[in-house]
Amino acid sequence: MKHWIKFGSKQIDFSLEYAERRSLGIKVHPDGSVEVLAPVDAKETEIIDEVRRKAPWILKQQDHFSDYVRMAAPRRFISGETHLLLGRQYRLKVIADNQDTIKAYRGQIWMYSRNTKPETLKKRLNVWYKDKALSIFNELLEEVFPKFKRYKIARPPLTIRTMTSRWGSCTPLGRIILNIDLIKTPKGCIEYVITHELCHLVYHHHGKPFQELLDKMMPDRRKWKEKLEYCLI
Ligand SMILES: [Zn+2]
């Protein structure tokens, strides 16, 4: 069901679903879409009031995300264009060459390429991002995982995927799935998502014990969460 509220000069569109739950949940997805989950017995006017009360928060989240959405905006793969890596902006520099290499330094991504067609550059850059993601995500998991020693969870295998509505998730069998676009966000954000998912291997919910564990494992997590936040429970 599609709904909307007016807040000042802004309009907030949201989808509404009813679920077996006690309070209203609002999620702002990285693409800016808003999803409201309401208890089955909630009245529509109450829901609208609550969404309006949370409007400043929703707009703030959409704003936070817009940086990352902008980063996902269509690229033309030409010199001078901005691309992100670990929260930093790099200018793309395309250089025709007789071999294919990509290097990021001094604020630039240097792309030496035999073929400078945008589709080719796009594919090569995606492979490069995926390689970076694989090594950096695994490195960070290696750093964070030992903190969980006493919880006796197995070191989870990592999968990197293109995901449109979340930054990470985990499977009941203990595999952690991370959004490839996380490689474009600061390391602290990636660490936060990994820590969050590791906590889920201990607690399969977002309840108090989960929150306490997350606080213990990453005391400054709120700062990073705020950069990525999409889920208000
Ligand atoms: Zn979670």
Confidence band, pLDDT 50/70/90 cuts, at residue 229: low
Ligand 1 centroid to residue 59 C-alpha, Å: 22
> Which tops the pLDDT comparison, 64 or 146?
146
pLDDT for 153: 93
Ligand 1 centroid to residue 205 C-alpha, Å: 7
Question: For the domain 138-232, what is the CATH code?
Answer: 3.30.2010.10
Ligand 1 centroid to residue 17 C-alpha, Å: 19
pLDDT surpasses 50 at 232: no
Ligand 1 centroid to residue 200 C-alpha, Å: 7
pLDDT for 70: 57
Q: What is the pLDDT of residues 138-195, one digit of tens each?
A: 999 999 999 999 999 999 999 999 887 788 999 988 999 999 989 988 999 999 999 9
pLDDT surpasses 90 at 228: no
**Nearest-angstrom CA–CA distance, 220 and 223:** 6
3-state secondary structure of 174: coil
Ligand 1 centroid to residue 167 C-alpha, Å: 10
3 sits in which H/E element: strand 2-7
Task: Give, to the nearest 10 degrees, the angle between helix 187-202 and helix 208-217.
Answer: 140
**Nearest-angstrom CA–CA distance, 141 and 164:** 22
Ligand 1 centroid to residue 170 C-alpha, Å: 9
pLDDT surpasses 90 at 64: no
pLDDT for 230: 43
Ligand 1 centroid to residue 192 C-alpha, Å: 11
Any residues with CB less than 8 A from the CB of 175 and at least 6 apart, and which?
Answer: 156, 157, 158, 159
Q: How many CB atoms lie within 10 A of CB 86?
A: 17
pLDDT surpasses 80 at 69: no
Length of the chain: 233
Domain boundaries, the chain: 2-71, 138-232
